[in-house]
Amino acid sequence: MLLWLLRGLFAILIVGLAMGLLLSFQSINQDYLGLSALGGVILLGILTVVVDISVKNKQITTVSAVYFGLLLGFFLGTLIWMAVEPVIAENPVYKGSGLGMLLRLLVTLVCCYITVSTLLQTKDEFRFIIPYVEFSKQVKGGRPLVLDTSVIIDGRIADICDTRIIDAKMVVPRFVLQELQAIADSSDKLKRNRGRRGLDMLKRMQNNPKVELQVHEANLPELRDVHKVDERLVVMAKVLGGRVVTNDFNLNKIAQLQGVEVINLNEVANSLKSVALPGEAMMVRVVKPGDQMGQGVGYLEDGTMVVVEQGRSHLGQEVAISVTSVLQTPAGRMIFGRVEARPSASPGDPKEGNGPPEAARN
């Protein structure tokens, strides 16, 4: 809206300037020149607005490069002409002709072209907001968390948000949202359900008053030539000074190689699982046979897999085991244990019926 107001104001000023020129030429009886100036100024204004509307996604670095390139070109052209003019001024051809003005214009045009071309090709290195100075972005508060598609579909990030442990802003790029929508519209039932789950998780976090969730349009200049979702995610997190939240092992490695911090939700979950030490006793229900002969497999409440030696004979039972070792893998923690031997009953234990009856003792 403000942009169209600016264009309207520009049009009014152009028309006013054209009318002023027309009246000025009419006052000296130069109607033809006045009409020509009127048409030329209006045409120039229309051309300027058309170019402005046609060129989309303008960059301040490009505008700055052109501006400083022209300034530098005029300066270099003036210096070169001041050095060359005394030499050629003695030439008879040069004296009394317009050749000097043409040569000076030529030198200035060449210098302007070279400087503007050079700065346009190197604008990403210099960041011409202020010449030769690049400022790093100052992020207020906690660094933003850029969410990956996999971590949104997983859904645990929404549960973590409910605990209020996250106080940083979470960012969902527009291209991640589009990927979720494409998965939700897939003809494959499993993919479709995953995509819909991801959209439901986003809606849940959006409605959570404890969460600051932002859908970023991702219209950054750095993303213009990047097309893969994972690479765009890493570049965007680097530009925003944020961290990537993901479950994808490959994305984790790509981000680390590019110097972007990553929060792997699987690693967070593994670090929160219960710790078991060798020799510790615990209760576990054996739910299925293991890969090796005689093994049984059970799970703790947090999902940790427990491999029970000689536990196949106890399928469907809750048994007491003694931990023998703990194995930490990228997929999670595994606990190995064996069934504790039941203590043999003493001959006089009344629970086993081997002792004398109560009446006999009395």
pLDDT in tens, 145-174: 999 999 999 988 988 888 888 888 899 999
- Is 313 among the domain residues? yes
Give the pLDDT score at 78.
86
- Name the residue among 252, 160, 144, 248 with its Cα closest to residue 201: 160
**Domain closes at, from 211, 245, 270:** 270
149 & 264 share domain:
yes
In 10 A of CB 334, how many CB atoms? 15
Tens of pLDDT, residue by residue over 81-137, are 888 777 776 666 555 555 667 677 778 888 888 887 887 777 655 554 444 444 444
Between strands 281-289 and 318-329, the pairing is antiparallel
Collect all residues with Cβ–Cβ distance below 8 Å to 134 and sequence separation of at least 6.
Answer: 126, 127
User: Over the range 7-40, which residues count as b (16 or more CB within 10 Å of their CB) and which as e?
Assistant: eeeeeeebeebbeebbeebeeeeeeeebeebbee
266 & 285 share domain:
no
- Is 45 among the domain residues? yes
222 & 183 share domain:
yes
209 & 255 share domain:
yes
266 & 294 share domain:
no
Give the pLDDT score at 192.
92
Tens of pLDDT, residue by residue over 325-362, are 988 766 667 899 999 876 544 444 444 444 444 443 44
- Is 55 among the domain residues? yes
Cβ 256 vs Cβ 237: under 8 Å: no
CA distances from 132 to 59, 76, 124, 267, 319 (A): 16, 18, 11, 42, 71
Which residue range forms the structural domain that includes residue 30? 10-126
In 10 A of CB 144, how many CB atoms? 20
235 & 297 share domain:
no
- Is 351 among the domain residues? no
260 & 291 share domain:
no
- Is 251 among the domain residues? yes
27 & 119 share domain:
yes
> CA 344 to CA 66: how far, in whole Å?
92
Overall domain count for the chain: 3
Give the pLDDT score at 29.
65
- Is 261 among the domain residues? yes
Collect all residues with Cβ–Cβ distance below 8 Å to 242 and sequence separation of at least 6.
Answer: 139, 143, 144, 145, 146, 171
- Name the residue among 333, 313, 312 with its Cα closest to residue 323: 333
241 & 155 share domain:
yes
120 & 232 share domain:
no
29 & 118 share domain:
yes
- Name the residue among 204, 198, 218, 203 with its Cα closest to residue 150: 198
Query: Residue 196: which pLDDT band, with cuts at 50, 70 and 90?
Result: very high
CATH number of the domain that 162 lies in? Answer: 3.40.50.1010
Tens of pLDDT, residue by residue over 199-253, are 999 999 989 888 889 888 888 877 888 888 888 899 999 888 899 999 888 888 8
Q: Which amino acid is at 58?
A: K
| Residue 285: pLDDT over 90 | yes
204 & 295 share domain:
no
0.75 exceeded by the pTM?
no
Give the pLDDT score at 345.
47
